[in-house]
Structure 1
Amino acid sequence: MVCHGCYDAPCQLKLEASQGLARGASQDLVYDGARLMTANLTRLFDDARSVKRWRKKGFYPVVDDDNPEDGVLYRMLELKQAHPLAPRGPVDNSFDFSLYREQQCTRQEDFDSYAQDYPLWGMPFGLPGLQPDEHQAMIRWLESGAPPVPQADLAPPLQAQFDAWESFLNGDSNKERLMGRYLYEHLFLATLFLQASDEPVWFRLVRSATPPGEPIDLISTRRPYDDPGVKRVYYRLQRMPITPLGKSHLAYRFDEERREWYRQNFLEPDYTVPELPGYKQQVAANPFKSFVAIPVRSRYRFLLEEAEFTIMNFIKGPVCRGQIALNVIEDRFWVMFMDPESISPESDGAFLARESDNLRLPVSATGTVVDLVTWRSYAKSHDRYQKAKVEFLAEQLNRDDRNIDMDVLWDGDGKNPNAALTIFRHFDTATVVKGFVGETPKTAWVISYALLERIHYLLVAGFDVYGAVAHQLETRLYMDFLRMEGELNFLMFLPPEERKKLREFWYRDAPGFARSHAFADSELMSERPSDLHFSSNDPKAEFLGWMRQHIHQASAERYDYHDKVAKPVSEALDSLVAAAGKHNRFMPQVSFLNVIGGSGEHAFTLLRDSGYSNIALPFLEESRRLPGEDKLTVVQGFVGDHPNLFFEVHEKQLPLFAEDIAALETAEDWEVLRHRYSVARNAPWFWRVSDSFHQRHLSADPIYNGLFDYNRYLGNPVETTAQ
C-alpha cells in the first residue's frame, strides 16, 4: 500500500482493498497532463461492479487463481528475492523514481520478457525485499488464493446506529431531502466511522436508487451533483472494506451526537423548502442556488464544525496531485475564519442569493480546449461579486460606525480546535493540520462562508480528476481569485499602509493582470482603518501573535517539541528553524527524522518552506524561486503523508547534523550529508525504520491516521529537491 494506493497507484493497481487486488492493473493513466479529452472513469468502488466488467474496461489480473505461481504479483515478489538490491552504494541507474516516469505494466503472458529486461524491478519496486519469513507468508497467502480478510457482521449496537443514520438521511419532507443532498455533496469523499474503536468499521455516503432496507443500487456519476437519473435519490451508507492510506484517508465521525447536531443545525431552524432544486448544471453546480433555502448560518456552521476536514477534502482529494494543481498556494500559511455571527456580506443570505450568478464556478463540459470567452465571463462575474461585496461591507461599517476588529474572527466558540489551521504545500502534495504551526508565515488567509463553499465546489465537488487538461487549468486559474480573496480578507485587519506593502512583497515581479483584483483596488482596502492598535513595526507578526493566543488551541502544542525532549535536542532543532537561506534548498520537502539515544526514540518532521517571488502564475515556477528565502519548519511527530526521505541520527550527533545542513553549498555536500545521516532506499534497515514510524504514527491516532506513501521517496544521493 505504501506504493499502491489511491488514484496514483502505479498501473492503477490499488491494494488498500481486496477488490483492488481482484480488479488488477491497467496501462491507462489517471493523471495525464496531456489529455485533451475526458478519460473513462475507473473509480474502484463505482465504475464497475464485478471483475468481469473491469476486464471489459481493460484491467488485467495480477493473481492467477488456477496457477498462483504464474501470477504477476507472485512473480514480482519472487523476482525481488532472486535479484535483491545491492545493500550499499547507489541504487542501480536503471530505476526511474520520478513521479511521471514511464510505467511498465506487464501482463502475465509478458512477464518473462519483463524479468529479462528489468531483473531488478521486482516488488517492492526500488526498495529492499521482504525478509524470508515475510516473503513466505505472502507466497502461502497467494498459493491459497489470496483470500480477503472475512468481514464480520455489524454488532447489534453498530447496526442500530447504521439504521438510525439511514432513516435520518432519508426523511420524506423537502427540508430533510435538501439536507440529505447538502450533506452528501460535502461528505462523498469522507471515510465515515460510526464509533471510535481500535478497529473501526468504515463506510461512505453514497446515492442509491433504492431506499433503506433494500440492497444498494449505486448511482455513479462523474460529479456528486450530476443528474442521478432517478425520480428519488436515497442517501445510503456503504461499507468500505479498506485499510486507510493517509494521503486519501478522510476520517469523519458519524455517531448519535453528530446526528443530533445535524438535527439542530439543519432541521430545527424555522425555514421552508417550497421545492427541491433540480440537476441542471447552472443550478446543481452552484451551491448558492441549489441550497439557497438552507440558512447561510446552518451551511457555514456545518463547514466550520470540522473545518480541518472541509479543507482536507481538496488537500487529500484527487485535485491535489501535481505541481500545477498546488503552486496556487504558498508553502506554509495560516488560516482563520470569519465568525458566523459577525456582520459580513458572506453571512447575509439575501446578498448571496442576489449574487448567486456572479458566484458561479467554472465547470468544463467536454474540455477539449480552454474556452477563453467563457473563461473571461467567469473572471468578470468574479469582479462583479467583489465590487458588490465591497459596497455591502462599506455600507455596513458606515452604518454601524465601526471598523474591522478581532471580534469578527471565529475563536472556535472557546471549544472547537478547528478555528485555526496551518496548510503546508510540499511541491506537488499538501497537508493541513489544526493550530498555527511554526514561525510567523509569509502569508495568512481569512476565509468566509462564500469563499469556503466555493473552494469546496471548485476543488472537490466540481473537480474531475479524469477531465481534460483544460478543465484542470481552468480550475487552477480560478483558484488564483480565491487565494487572493483569502489574503485580502486577512490584510483588512492590518493598517492600510501595511496592506499595500505586504501585497507588493507577496506579488513581487508578478504581471499586472496576475495581481489585479477588484477588492484589492478598492477604497475600502486602501484607506479603511482597522480598530486594532499596533505597537510594533511588524503588524502582521503582532496580529498573528494575538490570534495565536485568542483562538482556541491555535498554539498547536502537539507539534511543539520544546519541553518534551532534552535541551541539546531542542536547541539543535531550533538552530535548523532559525537558519534561513540557500542551504535549505537541498533539503527535501518532507523528511522524517528519527532521533535515537539514551532517552529513547523521538520522531520529528522537517518541512521545507520554499521561497518564491510570487505564486501568481501556473507555469515557469522555477524562474520565480528565491532559494535565499528557504526555511525549515520542524515539528514533533509526523506532518505529511508523502515522506521524501528518512533521517536517523543519534541525539549526541544532532547538533552536528544541524551544522552540516547549515553548511550545505553544493550537490556534493548534499551527497555527503545523505550518506552520513539518511536511510537510503536500498538500506537493509529501511523497513525497520518504516515500521517504527508507522507504529508510532498509527498508535498515536488509529482513527484519523493512515499509512504513508513512498512514491516520492528520493533515489540516489546526487538527487536534490531544489525546485
Structure 2
Amino acid sequence: MHKTRLFLQAAILMSLLCAFPFAVRAQTQTWAEVKPIMDRRCVVCHSCYDAPCQLKLTSPMGVLRGASKEAVYHTERLEDVQPTRLGIDAQTVPEWQALGFHTVLRGQDGGLLERYLELGHQNPMPTSAPLPAELGLAINRPLVCPTSNEFDAFSAAHPLAGMPYGTAPLAEAEFQALMGWARSGAVLPPTAPDIPDAILAQVADWEVFLNERDLRSQLMSRYLYEHLFLARLHFRGDDPRRFFQLVRSTTPPGAEIDVIATRRPFDDPGAAPFYYRLQQVTETIVHKEHLVYALGPDRMARYQQLFLDPDWTLTDLPPFGDAEGGNPFSTFMQMPARSRYQFLLDDALFFVRSFIRGPVCHGETAVDVIEDRFWVSFLDPEADLSVTDPSYLQEGAAFLELPVSEADAGVLGSLQGFSHKNQVKYLEFRDARYRAAPVYQTGFDYNSIWDGDGTNTNALITVFRHFDNASAMTGFHGGIPETSWVIDFPIFERIYYDLVAGYDVFGRVEHQLSTRLYMDELRMESEDTFLAFMPRDVRPQIHKHWYQGVLAELHTYWHRRRVDDSFPTGISFQTDQPKQEFLLTLLNRGNGLWPVTDPINRCAAEACQSGLPDDVLRELADQTGEWVKYLPDLSVLAVEQGGGETALFTLVHDKAHYNVAFLFDEEARRDPAADVLTILPGLIGSYPNFYFHVRQDQLAPFVMVLKGVRSQSDYMAAVEQFGVRRTSPEFWPLSDRIHDLFQQQKPIQAGIFDLNRYKDPKSGDDPT
C-alpha cells in the first residue's frame, strides 16, 4: 500500500498549502476532533462507489484523493473502465490526479470542502419543509462535480447545492469546527492506529497459516481469499471496532504490505511470489459494505478440519484468470465438495449478505431479480448429489461456467446464448442424475433440509429487498412469504461467483446485464428446488402464481422451465396449505435456534400479548391496505419510552409483484393492493428512507393515522405529525441517536447508515 509514501506526501502537501494566507474563523481542529463530525454529517452520503463525485470521506486517503467527474455507476458504457478503488488502484495524490481526480483541499483560493460548507451555511434549507423543487435527490441524478476553478460559476448557478446537501444545516459548533480544520490546512493523521501485541501475534499466526507452501495449503488459501476478500475480519475478544482485510501482497509477512491490484480476486497476481496478508481497516465503518467475519483459534482449527485433514491429493495448482474464475467447480475440483459446501453453510448469512453488500452500492436492475421478501433454506449436504457423488461435479462442471468466463465476448452478442447454453444443459444433467438416484423413489423430506446441525442459526435466512438494495437476517421473519428458496451447493457457489467474486462494478454493459440474467436463472433454480418439496399436484399452481401474466409465461417457456410434477415429495402434508406447513415445520425443527413465532407479524393469538409497543404495532403488520403503498421501502420508527429509553423498529414495505421475470419496467409488474408491512424490532438495512419519531403514548394515534391514509395528502399529514423531514431541526440529533443505539446494541456489526436515499415527501408524489 506504500502508506509511508502516501502520508509523507500528505504532510508535504499540507505544509505547502498552509503557507498560503487565509483567515481562520475558528480554532484549529485536529482530525480526531473533526472525524466524528465528518462521519455523522459527511460520510453518511460520501462513502462507497455511489459517493457523489466519488468523493469518499471515510478516511484521510479519501480526503486527499478528492473528487472526480466520472461516475462509477454507468449502465450504458460499452467498454470496461479503469477501476478507482480507494487504497488499491492508486497510492499517491499525483497518481489519483492522473486518473481524473481533483483536490478538495485548500489551494491558492479556498478549498472545495470549505467552499461547499460555506455555501450551505449561507443558504440553509427551509426548516421542516419540503426541499425546493430544483434540488434533486435521485440516486442517479446528473452531477456537475466542479473543480476549484469552476466552483464560483457552479455556486452561482446552484446556490442551494451547499453541504450538507438538502438537509437541516450543521450546528454552529460543527460548522466552525470543520471550517477551522479545513482552513488551517486540513491536517491528517500520519499513521494508522496501533495494534495490541496480542492481536499482532494472531495476525502473524494467520499469515503463517495462509502462506504455507505445500500445494494443498496453497489451494485452500486461494479458496479462502476468493471467498473472504471483502470480509471485515474481526478477532474474537478484540476491540469491537477493529477489523482487518485479507489481501494479496508482493511483500512477505513482517514487511510493509504492498497490495496487488487486480480487478477480481481470481485474476492472476503475476509471476512474482505473492503473499496473503491481513491489513488493518482504517476507514470509517459504513454499514452498507460492512461484512463481518470472525477469526480465532477455533476458526483456524475448523479450516484444518475441513480442508487439510480430509484425504485428497493435488499435483498441480490451477491457473488464474477469467476462464478459471468463471468456474470455481473446475478450479477447486480436487478439494472435497463436502468441505467447500460446509464452509459456505457455516457462515451462510455472511455469504448471503455478501451478495447484497458486496461491490454494488446501488442498482435497481441488480436486485429486481428477487421478490421484496423471501425465506431461504439449504439442501442438506447428505441430500445434495454434488456433495455425496464425486462424479457429479466431475461430469457436471462443464455446464457450470459463469458469465465472467466469457469476459472477452463481443458486446451484448452472447448474453442470451450463454444463459441457455450453460443453464439448460446443466438442468438437463441435474435432472438425469437425480432421476437415477435413490431419492427419485422417495423424494426430498424434512431431513433433506440442513438444520444447522442443531447449533447453527445460519440454516434459515430471511432476505428483504428495498427497491435498489437489500438486507438479510437469520431466522424466518414476517408473514408467510410468496416465494421461498432452497439452495444447494452448485447454486450457492454460483451466486457467490456471479454477484461477488466475478462481479466488476467498473465493467461494461454486457457484464452488468449478463450478471443479472444469470442471477435470474439461479433464482428460478432455487425456487424449483423448493417446489420439489411440495405436493406434485400443487407445484404448477404455485409456480403460476409466482409468474403471472402472458409475458411471464413466455419467459418461463423461453427459459425452457417446466415444473417437474413427477419427482415425488417425501413429506406427508397434513393441511391444504403445504407451503405454509413446510416453512413453519422448518422453524419448529430449530430446537430454540430461532423464534418459532414472530411476535409482531406472525403470532398465534394466545402468544401475542408481548406488551407495548409490539401489541400496538401488530395492528400495522402483515396486512394489506390502501395505506401501505404510501410508505417508503425502509423506515425507522423511534419510540420514546419512560426513563429516557428509545426503542427502535424498522418498517419494511414488502412490495408485491405479479412476477420478477424481467429487467425493466418494474412498475408494470407491481401489485400494490397486495403490499404488506413487515415490522422488525431493531435496525435492518443500510439505507433508511425516513424516520418516524413518537412517544409511546402516541403509538396508538400513529397507527390509526397511518391506517387511515388514502391519498398522498393524507400521508403528508402523517409525515407532518409524526415524521422527521430532512430539513427538520430534529433530523441530525435523531440520526445521531439512532447511530449511537445501533453501536451500543450491535458493537461489532454496526456501521454508519447511508442517508443518500432519505426521502423528501411531497404532495403529488407517486407512492407506487
AA aligned to 2:577 is D
User: Does the Cα contact within 8 Å between 1:420 and 1:554 map onto a contact in 2?
Assistant: no
- Aligned partner (choices 58, 62, 66) of residue 24 of structure 1: 66
Question: How far 1:556 sits from its partner (Å)?
Answer: 4.8
Supply the distance in 2 between the matched residues of 1:565 and 1:124 (Cα, whole angstroms): 44
The equivalent residue for 1:215 is 256
Counterpart CA distance in 2 for 1:636 and 1:565 is: 16
Any gaps of 5 or more consecutive residues in structure 1?
none
- The aligned counterpart of 1:644 is 689
CA distance in structure 2 between the partners assigned to 1:141 and 1:633 by the alignment: 44
Who is 2:727 aligned against? 682
Aligned position for 1:405? 445
- Specify every segment of 5 or more residues in structure 2 that has no aligned partner in the other structure, as ranges: 1-42
| 1:417-440 deviations in Å (ceiling 9; x for gaps) | 111101000010100111111111
Supply the distance in 1 between the matched residues of 2:201 and 2:370 (Cα, whole angstroms). 44
| From 262, 283, 288, the counterpart of 1:242 | 283
Separation in 2, partners of 1:245, 1:390: 43
> Which residue of the partner structure matches residue 627 of structure 1?
672
Is 1:453 matched up with 2:493? yes
Residue among 254, 258, 265 paired with 1:224 = 265
**Aligned amino acid, residue 637 of structure 2:** L
Cα distance between partner residues in 2 of 1:559 and 1:12: 41
- Per-residue deviation, 1:284: 3.1
Given that 1:158 and 1:194 are in contact with CA atoms closer than 8 Å, whether structure 2 keeps it comes out as: yes
Task: Tell me the alpha carbon deviations over residues 511-558 of structure 1, each in whole angstroms, 9 at most, x when there is no partner.
Answer: 444224889526xx2023312122222110111111111136563589
Aligned residues: 717
Structure 2 residue 754 is matched with structure 1 residue 709: yes
Offset from partner CA, 1:202-251 (integer Å, 9 cap, x none):
22111122322333332111111112222433211122211110011111
Counterpart of 1:540 in structure 2 is 579
Alignment of 1:151 with 2:192, yes or no, is yes
Partner Cα distance (1:131, 1:187) in 2: 40
Larger CA deviation: 452-461 vs 346-355: 346-355
Moved more, 83-92 or 485-494: 83-92
Alignment root-mean-square deviation, CA: 2.2
Is 2:409 aligned against 1:370? no
Q: C-alpha separation between the residues in 1 aligned to 2:559 and 2:389? A: 20
Match of 1:471 in 2: 511
Q: State the 1:138 CA deviation.
A: 1.7
Q: Which amino acid aligns with 1:123?
A: M
Matches within 5 A, 1:111-130: 111-130=151-170
Alignment-mate amino acid for residue 614 of structure 2: S
1:704–1:148 Cα change, 3 Å? farther
What is the TM-score with the length of structure 1 in the denominator? 0.95
Of 531, 536, 549, 2:588 maps to: 549
Q: Is the 8 A contact 1:362 1:458 kept in 2?
A: yes
Q: Distance in 2 between matches of 1:388 and 1:295?
A: 21
Measured in 1, the distance between the counterparts of 2:125 and 2:598 equals 36
2:701 alignment partner in structure 1: 656
Residues 1:598 and 1:153: Cα distance change in structure 2 (over 3 Å): closer
For residues 262 and 78 of structure 1, what CA distance do their matches in structure 2 show? 54
CA, structure 1 residues 147+397, in 2 after alignment: closer, same or farther (shift >3 Å)? Answer: farther
Contact 2:690 2:758 in 1 (8 A): yes
On the 8 A contact 1:675/1:717 being kept in 2, the answer is no
Counterpart in the other structure of 1:57: 99
Q: Given the superposition, is the C-alpha separation of residues 274 and 375 from structure 1 closer, same or farther in structure 2, using an over 3 Å criterion?
A: farther
Distance change (3 Å), C-alpha of 1:123 and 1:263: same
1:329 paired with 2:373, answer no
> Shift of residue 564 of structure 1?
11
Kept after mapping to 1: 8 A contact 2:325/2:502:
no
1:521 alignment counterpart = 562
2:630 is the counterpart of 1:586: yes
What SS class does the counterpart of residue 538 from structure 2 fall into?
helix
| SS of the residue 2:575 aligns to | coil
Tell me what 2:142 maps to. 102
Distance 2:114 2:320 in 1: 47
In structure 1, what is the equivalent of residue 133 of structure 2?
A: 93
Aligned-residue offset at 1:719: 6.3
Residue 607 (str. 1) matches residue 652 (str. 2) = yes
Deviations 1:69-105 (A, max 9, x none): 7111112122222221121332222210011111131
What is aligned with 1:48? 90
State the identity as a percent: 39
- 1:517–1:437 distance in 2 versus 1, CA, 3 Å: farther
- 1:572 aligns with 616
Please say if residues 296 and 348 of structure 1, whose CA atoms lie closer than 8 Å, have aligned partners that are also in contact: no
Shift of 1:699: 1.1
Counterpart CA distance in 1 for 2:559 and 2:493 is 20
What is the CA–CA distance in structure 1 between the aligned matches of 2:102 and 2:151, rounded to whole Å? 13
Query: Secondary structure, in 3 states, of the residue corresponding to 2:252?
Result: coil
Q: Please say if residues 247 and 276 of structure 2, whose CA atoms lie closer than 8 Å, have aligned partners that are also in contact.
A: yes
Task: Check whether the contact 1:38–1:367 (CA below 8 A) recurs between aligned residues.
Answer: no
Residues 552 and 659 of structure 2 are in contact (CA less than 8 Å); yes or no, is this contact kept in structure 1?
Answer: no
Distance 1:196 1:519 in 2: 51
Contact 1:594 1:649 in 2 (8 A): yes
Q: Deviations over 1:112-132 (max 9, x none)?
A: 222222222211101112111
Residue 173 (structure 2) pairs with residue 133 (structure 1)? yes
* Alpha-carbon shift at residue 174 of structure 1 (Å): 0.5
Q: CA deviation at 1:199?
A: 4.6
Partner SS state of residue 582, structure 1:
coil
User: How far apart, CA to CA, are the structure 2 residues paired with 1:379 and 1:507?
Assistant: 19
Give the AA of the match of 1:267. Answer: L
